[in-house]
Copies of this chain bind each other. A is one copy, B any other.
Amino acid sequence: MNSQKPVKIIASGKYLPARVSSEELEEKHNLPGGWSEAHSGVISRHHVSFESIGFMGARAIEAALKKANLGLGDIDMLISAGASFDYPLPNQSSVIKSELKDSVLHNVPTLDVDSTCLSFVSAFEIASKMLDGEQYKRIVIVSSEIASKGLNTQNPETLTLFGDGAAAFILGYDESSLSAFIKAYFKTWSEGFDHTIIRGGGAVYYFRDYPYDENLHSFEMDGMKLLKLAAKKLPEFMDYICKDLSVTLADVNIIIPHQASKAGLYLFRKMFGLSTDKVKENIATYGNCIAASIPLLLHDLIEQKEIKRGDLCMLVGTSAGFSIGLLLFRY
């Protein structure tokens, strides 16, 4: 069965909080000057001050709607695709919807999808399978993430790596163009499930019983184990997919990878002999924005006309779990 579907990116939008330079962070946390760029490759990123995840997500959606000259009433579903959240309940999509200016005028259904850093890629697949030109004509996917609050000040690696931000995409069912969702693949290797984790704050280390402790409640990443696992699993994953799709990486016009880390991006390019022309990056000026990294990069590339209609595009990345995911679409 051909899973190709006439799905088109109609428009996108983004929201970024204030820029924070590496010098500012290094000074604040007593790190040597230049540490961030040398170790994580991040020169600057954006961190929230007054903003919530809901606020950023709503502004990104409004920007995408404005660009498309559409209103909330033209949307048949709102998917929030991300790992961070404003409140443990309700779901983040309902919070984002409530912050849209026309929220009470339109009863658009809301849904959260979470495959951590690959949430946007999962939501793109789900939206593509739901879009049918009747019940679901247009679906908006928003990835809004605040990473900056869960960082351990004693861990300079993660402290300088992560950024906040939001991007929203409107996908539509459109048989009139060549644009298409082609196929998506995901695999989860459970041996890596705790290589990236925030232990405290859920049912296991419940906050009533475990008061705030920076080590317990911050993001933990075993970067070396992650790189090793990715290096071991990526070749078989890509091999399998290229065979199944009868395409090679050479056929792909542009690759938009998750901005996990500078080392991860380097490893990916080197492993498959790919250039920086094809494998795009924004880690130097955005950092790792969890699930918002891929859609922020995709949005900027479209705005800069580096992606043109008809281009074969690949979204790819690793995520906590440990998973690898990939999606092919024709823009």
Contacts and interface: CB of A to CB of B under 8 A. Distances in A.
A198 interface: yes
Interface in A91-114: 91, 93-95, 97-98, 100, 103-104, 107-114
Given A107-B188, A110-B115, A188-B107, A94 B321 contact: yes
Given A129-B129, A203-B149, A207-B212, A114 B112 contact: yes
Interface stretch (A17-25, A189-197, A278-286, A298-306): A189-197
A194 B99 CA distance: 12
B113 A113 contact: yes
Nearest to A210: B212
A253 interface: no
Contact of A104 (B91, B111, B112, B189): B189
A122 B80 CA distance: 14
Given A1-B134, A112-B112, A87 B207 contact: no
B203 A207 contact: no
Contact of A193 (B97, B146, B322): B97
Contacts of A109: 115, 185-188, 323, 325
A242 interface: no
B129 A98 contact: no
Contacts of A116: 89-91, 94
Interchain residue pairs A-B with the least CB separation, the first 6: A109-B186, A94-B321, A90-B320, A112-B114, A103-B190, A98-B193
